[in-house]
Amino acid sequence: MQQKSHEICCGQGFRMSESVGAWQLIASGDATLFAIVRLSLAVSLSAVAIAVIVGLPLGALLALTRFPGRSAVVVVLNGFMGLPPVVVGLTVYLLLSRSGPLGEFGLLFTPAAMVVAQALLVLPIIAALARQTIEDLWSEYRDELTAMGVGPAGRVATLLWDSRFSLITALLAGFGRAAAEVGTVMIVGGNIEGFTRTMTTAIALETSKGNLPLAMGLGIVLIGIIIAINAAAWGLRLWSEQRAG
Amino acid sequence: MMRATPSDLPLVLDGVSLHIGSTVVLDRLDLTIAPGAPTLVVGPNGSGKTTLLRLCMQLVRPSQGRVSWGGRTDAGQGRRAILFQKPVMLRRSAAANVAYVLAQVGHPRHLRAAQALELLDRVGLADLAARPARRLSGGEQQRVALARALARQPEILLLDEPTASLDPAATLHVEEIIRMAAQSGTKIVMASHDLGQVRRLAGEVVFMIRGRVCEQASAEKFFDRPSTTEAAAFIRGDLVL
Q: What totals of helices (H) and strands (E) does chain B contain, helices first?
A: 8, 9
Per residue in B146-169, pLDDT (tens digit) is 999 999 999 999 999 999 888 898
Residues of B in contact with A150 (CB under 8 A): 104
Comparing alpha-carbon positions, the chain A residue that sits nearest to B102 is A148
Contact B132 A245 (CB under 8 A): yes
DSSP chain A: -HHHHHHHHHHT---HHHHHHHHHHHHTT-HHHHHHHHHHHHHHHHHHHHHHHHHHHHHHHHHH---TTHHHHHHHHHHHTT--HHHHHHHHHHHHSTTSTTGGG--TTSHHHHHHHHHHHHHHHHHHHHHHHHHHHHHHHHHHHHHTT--HHHHHHHHHHHTHHHHHHHHHHHHHHHHH--HHHHHHH---TTTT--HHHHHHHHHHHT-HHHHHHHHHHHHHHHHHHHHHHHHHHHHHHHHH-
- List the single residue in B81, B91, B104 with the smallest CB-CB distance to A244: B91
Q: Around Cβ B68, how many Cβ atoms within 10 Å? A: 16
- List the single residue in B82, B90, B104 with the smallest CB-CB distance to A162: B90
Helical (H) or strand (E) element with B233: helix B229-236
Per residue in A223-234, pLDDT (tens digit) is 999 999 889 888
- Whether domain B2-79+154-236 has CATH 3.40.50.300: yes
Average pLDDT (B66-90) is 89
- Give the rounded percent of residues in chain A with a pLDDT score beyond 70: 93
Residues of A in contact with B135 (CB under 8 A): 245
Q: Per-residue pLDDT for B214 more than 70?
A: yes
Average pLDDT (B38-66) is 94
**Is B206 in contact with B42 (CB distance < 8 Å)?**
yes
- List the single residue in A141, A149, A245 with the smallest CB-CB distance to B134: A245
- Of A10-14, A41-45, B84-88, B172-176, give the lowest mean pLDDT range: A10-14
Per residue in A96-115, pLDDT (tens digit) is 998 989 988 989 999 999 99
Strands B204-209 and B39-42: parallel
Residue scoring higher pLDDT (A15 or B70): B70
pLDDT level of residue B80 (50, 70, 90 thresholds)? very high
Q: Around Cβ B37, how many Cβ atoms within 10 Å? A: 15
**Is A245 in contact with B89 (CB distance < 8 Å)?**
yes
pLDDT of residue A11: 45
Q: Per-residue pLDDT for A147 more than 60?
A: yes
Chain A interface residues (partner B, CB cutoff 8 A): 140-141, 143-144, 146-150, 154, 158, 162-163, 242-245
Mutation for testing the A interface, residue in B59, B80, B91, B105 having most A CBs under 10 Å: B91
**CB < 8 Å & 24+ apart, contacts of A145-153:** A146/B59, A146/B77, A147/B57, A147/B59, A147/B77, A147/B80, A147/B81, A147/B82, A147/B84, A148/B77, A148/B100, A148/B101, A148/B104, A148/B148, A148/B152, A149/B76, A149/B77, A149/B78, A149/B104, A149/B105, A150/B104, A152/A64
Mutation for testing the B interface, residue in A145, A148, A155, A160 having most B CBs under 10 Å: A148
Number of domains in chain A: 1
Contact B87 A147 (CB under 8 A): no
Residues of A in contact with B189 (CB under 8 A): none
Comparing alpha-carbon positions, the chain A residue that sits nearest to B92 is A244
Contact A154 B132 (CB under 8 A): no
Residue A89 lies in a domain: yes
ipTM computed for the complex = 0.90
pLDDT of residue B48: 93
- Give the rounded percent of residues in chain B with a pLDDT score beyond 90: 79
Contact A244 B132 (CB under 8 A): yes
Per residue in B109-140, pLDDT (tens digit) is 999 999 999 999 999 999 999 999 999 998 89
d(CA B13, CA A245): 40
pLDDT of residue A14: 59
Average pLDDT (B37-66) is 94
Q: Per-residue pLDDT for A13 more than 60?
A: no
pLDDT level of residue A174 (50, 70, 90 thresholds)? very high
pLDDT level of residue A25 (50, 70, 90 thresholds)? confident
**Is A210 in contact with A216 (CB distance < 8 Å)?**
no
Mutation for testing the A interface, residue in B90, B105, B142, B153 having most A CBs under 10 Å: B90
Average pLDDT (A181-199) is 93
What mean pLDDT value characterizes chain A?
89
Q: Per-residue pLDDT for A8 more than 80?
A: no
CA distance B12 to chain A (A): 19
- List the single residue in A147, A158, A162 with the smallest CB-CB distance to B82: A147
Residue scoring higher pLDDT (A43 or A30): A43
Question: What are residue B11's DSSP bridge partners?
Answer: B33, B69
The dihedral region occupied by B71, where left means phi > 0, alpha psi between -120 and 50, and beta the remainder, is left
CA distance A163 to chain B (A): 8
Average pLDDT (A26-55) is 93
Whole domain around residue A184: which residue ranges? 28-244
Residue B179 is which amino acid? R
pLDDT of residue B193: 85
Average pLDDT (B24-30) is 93
Domain boundaries, chain B: 2-79+154-236, 86-148
CA distance A165 to chain B (A): 11
Residues of A in contact with B80 (CB under 8 A): 147
d(CA A19, CA A5): 19
b/e per residue A62-88 (b: at least 16 CB within 10 A):
bbbeeeeeeeeebeebbebbebebeeb
Dihedral of the CA atoms A160, A166, A168, A174 (nearest 10)? -100
pLDDT level of residue B1 (50, 70, 90 thresholds)? very low
The CATH number assigned to the domain holding A159 equals: 1.10.3720.10
Contact B77 A162 (CB under 8 A): no
Contact B104 A162 (CB under 8 A): no
Residues of B in contact with A163 (CB under 8 A): 91
Per residue in A119-137, pLDDT (tens digit) is 999 999 999 999 999 999 9
Residues of A in contact with B105 (CB under 8 A): 149
Residue A52 lies in a domain: yes
- Give the rounded percent of residues in chain A with a pLDDT score beyond 90: 67
Residue A150 lies in a domain: yes
Residue A19 lies in a domain: no
pLDDT level of residue A28 (50, 70, 90 thresholds)? confident
- List the single residue in A150, A242, A245 with the smallest CB-CB distance to B133: A245
Average pLDDT (A28-54) is 93
Residue A7 lies in a domain: no
pLDDT of residue A43: 96
d(CA A198, CA A42): 10
Mutation for testing the B interface, residue in A143, A164, A168 having most B CBs under 10 Å: A143
